[in-house]
Structure 1
Amino acid sequence: MMTILCVDDEPNILSSLRRLFRGKGYEVLTAISGAQGLELLAQQPVDLVISDMRMPEMDGARFLAQVRQRWPNTVRLLLTGYSDVQSIQDAINCGEIYRYITKPWDDNDILLIVRHALERHQLEMEKQRLEALTLKQNEELKNLNAGLEQKVEERTRQLKANFLTTIKILSSIAESRGTGQTGQTRQVADLARKMAAQLKLDGNEVQDIFIAALLHDLGRIGFSDEMLRTPMTMLQGADLAQFRKHPVYGAQLLMPLTDMGGVAAIVKHQMERFDGQGFPDRLAGFAIPIGSRILTLAIDYYNLQQGALVQRHLKPEEAKSLVMDGSGKRYDPAVVQAFRQVVDGGVRGVAESTDVELLSGELVPGMVLSRDVVSRDGLMLLASDHVLNERMIQQLQDFEKKSGHRLPIWVQRGVAGAR
């Protein structure tokens, strides 16, 4: 039920208004002065006020101005019995009245005016309610989206970290059946990544090349021990045929992983030659994926030093010289140039410029590993990007005591006290 307050210093006017509006279902309050009207408004909600203009002590314009100031959502009507234009203007300007009604009034007219005023008032209040609700819901949705985005980002980071850790574990398994020394696969991957960065490849390509380098020996898992000990240049017959198939086999193992198509292609063509004399598909020049051209050189550089390509172990400078001699034949000249710039110190890895090696006794909780922690036997104890806590630090220290060897532990600079 709508509540109407009628304010007039003439009792007969108030009686007429009370009878008129109560007959139409309104709750009607009356006051004989502006002061009394303000008291009633302070006691209970009122939807609409009708005030006479000419009243002692406080006229209608001043009264409605106070109503506007204290209860702005209450609809205001002015009742005037004379043609005082200035007084009406004051009421309009100060009280912002909805309408003014002249005495004597027509009952139907005043009822229609009041009904329209209250309908408009209800629409305005509903509009304000909906706007406030919309604002609140938008804010809640904004906070919800922010929370979801943060959770998605955290989950994505965790998945990426778990993915890379899984790749490194697979790499360690493949390396155990490879031809090089423990840790050589990581050296190959690091060199390949640096050459890719030197060639200014985009981030996704660099990542694929790094992962392919970690997994390049995956196809050798089925090789016999004798075959693994034999340098490639001495393989013959069925052994040589099996060796030449290992890149294809490694790629096939990766193909079921939908996001590893690029990595699989790099692994498959790791033994191609720039002059087209390689295998498995005898691709030549730029038909060979850039990742494979990089990986071929990185693998050969370390295999030459480990005696996997020739019958003796070459020194780094000798291996470098043979790589340089293969430019344009076995290797892409641009990749050879990038290799020379890397090994001669022309490019530094990101980790080398942003991390520091510490003793296990210098570690504190909150530090972040910048490189994998690997034992002398090639066992990966912790993956890079792990945030150290007290339990992990204690486990590293216990491992050093039992093994009798110091672990190489690299952490990010500027994190939890690392300098």
Structure 2
Amino acid sequence: MIVERDDGPIATVLLVDDEENILSSLRRVLRNERYLLLFASSGAVALELLEQHEVDLIVSDARMPGMDGATLLAKVQQGWPGCLRILLTGYADITTTIKAINEGQIYRYISKPWDDDELRLIIRQALAFEFSERERQRLERLTQEQNAHLQELNETLERRVQARTAELEETAGMLDVAYAELRRSYVTATEVFAGLVNQRFNKDRQTNAQVVALIKGYAEHYQLDERTSNDLAMAAALYNIGKLTWSDQLLARPSDLLYKEERARYRKYPELGENLLMTLEPVQDAGRLIRHHQERWDGHGFPDRLEGEAIPFGSRLLKLCVDFIELQRGMFLERRLSRDEALLLMKKYKGRLYDPQLCDCFIELCTTLAPDLVLADASIMALDTRRLSAGMILARNLHATNGMLLLNEGKQLTQQLISKLITFEASEGGRYTVFIRKPESDAPFKMERRDEHDPVAG
């Protein structure tokens, strides 16, 4: 299985070919990769190795005496479905390739002679896909277990709370009653509270889950320490608890349109949120982050008009995440912004509303390092320009590095447009991430590889 370690292999790869020189070539290509390599000269030997080792990926030649590659991979699919399968095939092996696709359900096939760099890249992508799939399955199991636990907690809490739309006193009482649960597992309990808080808001204004996802994504990518990550997750789940006593009219109005008494009440919600949490020791630090998450880098925020690095780091990050989501929900401005519009607006106001360095890191995370972090629509995928194909439809506006709009959402790509994008990208010395809407059919896009010496790709 895949193991992430600094001093050892991260995956086990089985290479199968009846020709020793092919196995030697594969050994040479992969010698600098962090894989535990196993070698087999026939399908029978490969099956024996699979019985003895946990193999993450198998790469098999198509033509072998006795048991060909397609038959071997079909057996692997039946006996070890979690092991990814790649077929090495010549141009004349179309029948074997079709059999491997239909019966072995292979991940990819690679034509001989292969390109070394491409082979290494395909194996890395395959292992990354395998790791992501296993992590998804683990999280799915964990979610089911937590849902069962939350159901149990909800049944207990429902007997003590008369309505989920309770006012301030009822919410404070609920937090006190649940304190024992919070001490045992305060992160899980916080998710319960956040779910209850959400019942006070309309569905389109239930933002806690999205803010938590952004916080966790940032914490994981930039490797924040455990205590900071936990405090941030708690603060993200409960940042709007101070709004519970607002009227429905106030909750429905964008903050930019509030006047006089309403604006004064709005400016008190971070402080009120901290006050609600101060009696619970495990969430006091999170409460402090909530208090200051509406401070501004230039010192004109609230409630304490802190400036620059006097604002806690977690509060600065929480503000970025909250503003990013609320701008898209129409909770800040009267008009709902698109995801890209929200990022451009935040970039414009860095140094005034936001910590400049932290804002750059946040935008980079959302656009370059992990562009799918906040994708709620599973029908959208992120590609670089060299994986684009004619006929694809843009799911979001595409902007240049300097912010200039290049292509509008809904634009259908042509080969000429793709070539121009690659040329413009090279002139800027950067990389574009292009968001494409997947086709309605189940058939995947055909991703064509451009040779590095192709003048269009250059």
TM-score class, shorter: 0.3 to 0.5
TM-score (norm 2): 0.40
Higher relative contact order (CA 8 A, sep 6+): 1
TM-score, reference length from structure 1: 0.44
